[in-house]
Amino acid sequence: MLLRLLIFLGCLALVALGAEDFYKLLGLKKDASEREIKKAYRTLSKKYHPDKNPGDESAHDKFVKVAEAYDALIDEETRRIYDQYGHDGLEQHKRGGGRPAQHHDPFDLFSRFFGGSGHFGHGGGQRQGPDMEVRVSVPLRDFYNGRQTEFTVEKQAICSACEGSGSEDGHVETCNVCGGRGVRIQRQQLAPGLFQQVQAMCDACGGKGKTIKHPCPVCDGTRVVREAETHELHVEKGMPQGVRINYENEADESPDWVAGDLVVHLTATEPKLGGADHERTDGTFFRRRGQDLFWREVLSLREAWMGDWTRNITHLDGHIVQLSRKRGEVVQPNTVEIIENEGMPVWHQYLPEGVDEAFGNLHIEYTVILPDQMDKGMAKEFWSVWEKYRKKSGKNLDQELGRPEGPIKMPDGHDEL
């Protein structure tokens, strides 16, 4: 008998050691408030819900464990036992006739928070809420390099204090005026002996069909609150501007419907210099058109005319693109040089089959700046050089193009119309 008891206690100890800490599982400190516990459950239960992770057994297990952790910590008595004795104490409490957790089915618990049947999805005859669209802007370098970041939106959420019931004590009664229908049938007399029945919203319950004696102090009985919610944003390399990223069932919530989708329109911010080194590259001021990038490079008259120069442009990921001309190579104003494979990375959804990586082109437009004025000595030297060159090999453009030297005499009576 003693041996069996020791084996049994040993198994309990192994279970306790193998079980994950409930506070750590929910990402909470041990002094977390009831509201913080509910908020953590809301976030994690949506993240690991099997409907959002089809075929992922680890996500399903996490979903169940999150519900188990919430069950234990949300009740004062079980939380006190867990804090003092851990998982072993909870198991003994259940076997010893203590009050079991309120929710055994994790999907039932989920439905208490989010309405519906405890599952996501747009089917099953459940009413679907409206989608919510937002615009999120990130720098061009994030489209080039890819980035994992976060964004926050304010949305309507089911009140976690009352779990969407609207009642402080969880007690909701059926309206005794309309019988829970939310409408009343009123009889109106149109004339002696002639009556008309009119359906109108029940003024006793405001059309809800339910009445609450003790409204929730957090939501004032409305069952919903406005709160900020943070989502992860994965910007993939080469994503086009304006791409739509869909977050299923993350729109405004209500106990009366399944939440619609949150649709994010991803755009690029206006270029500006930041404080960090990677925010101060030349590439910050690239312009994008599809898979190509555009840059305007400014040259002096000497550089454009004589050549013999080198420029280093720092790209969006920090690598150097070198521009240069040898001595004697002339660059005409507004010349566009195309450098292949230095544009935007091609988004993986646009890559041809069998190609792992590809880039667009970088277009360099050259602008030549002329001097505003010249001193007399420099002007005299330039003039003598040009005169010598003109007499040797210069051409008269009027003669080359066949233009007349004087005005052309128009015929008498010529009507231009």
pLDDT computed for residue 315 by the predictor: 97
pLDDT computed for residue 90 by the predictor: 79
Rounded to whole angstroms, the Cα distance separating 262 from 230 reads 12
Task: Dig out the tokens for 72 from the structure.
Answer: 């234990």
pLDDT computed for residue 109 by the predictor: 75
3-state helix, strand, coil in the chain (%, to 5): 30, 25, 45
DSSP one-letter code for 98: P
Judged by phi (left if over 0) then psi (alpha if -120 to 50, else beta), residue 202 lies in beta
Which domains occur in the chain, in start order?
2-114 (1.10.287.110), 127-164+222-270 (2.60.260.20), 277-369 (2.60.260.20)
Length of the chain measured in residues: 417
Alpha helices in 19-105 (DSSP H): 22-26, 34-47, 57-74, 76-95
Residue whose tokens read 């003790």 = 214
pLDDT computed for residue 269 by the predictor: 95
Each residue's pLDDT, cut to its tens digit, for the chain (417 residues) gives 444 444 444 544 444 444 678 899 889 988 888 878 888 888 888 888 888 788 888 888 888 888 888 888 888 888 888 888 888 887 887 776 555 444 467 877 777 666 656 666 544 556 788 999 999 999 999 999 999 999 999 999 888 888 788 888 878 888 888 877 878 877 777 777 777 777 888 887 777 778 888 889 999 888 899 999 889 999 999 999 999 999 988 899 888 888 889 999 999 999 998 888 888 899 999 999 999 999 999 999 999 999 999 999 999 999 999 999 999 999 999 999 999 999 999 999 999 999 999 999 999 999 999 888 888 888 888 889 888 888 888 777 788 888 888 888 888 766 655
pLDDT computed for residue 144 by the predictor: 97
Rounded to whole angstroms, the Cα distance separating 241 from 239 reads 7
Rounded to whole angstroms, the Cα distance separating 59 from 48 reads 5
- Judged on CB neighbours under 10 Å (0-12, 13-18, 19+), 115 is buried
User: Helix axis angle, 106-114 relative to 57-74, nearest 10°?
Assistant: 70
pLDDT computed for residue 237 by the predictor: 96
Amino acid at 381: E
- This prediction's pTM: 0.72
User: Helix axis angle, 34-47 relative to 57-74, nearest 10°?
Assistant: 170
pLDDT computed for residue 12 by the predictor: 46
Rounded to whole angstroms, the Cα distance separating 47 from 208 reads 31
The pairing of beta strand 362-369 with beta strand 173-174? unpaired
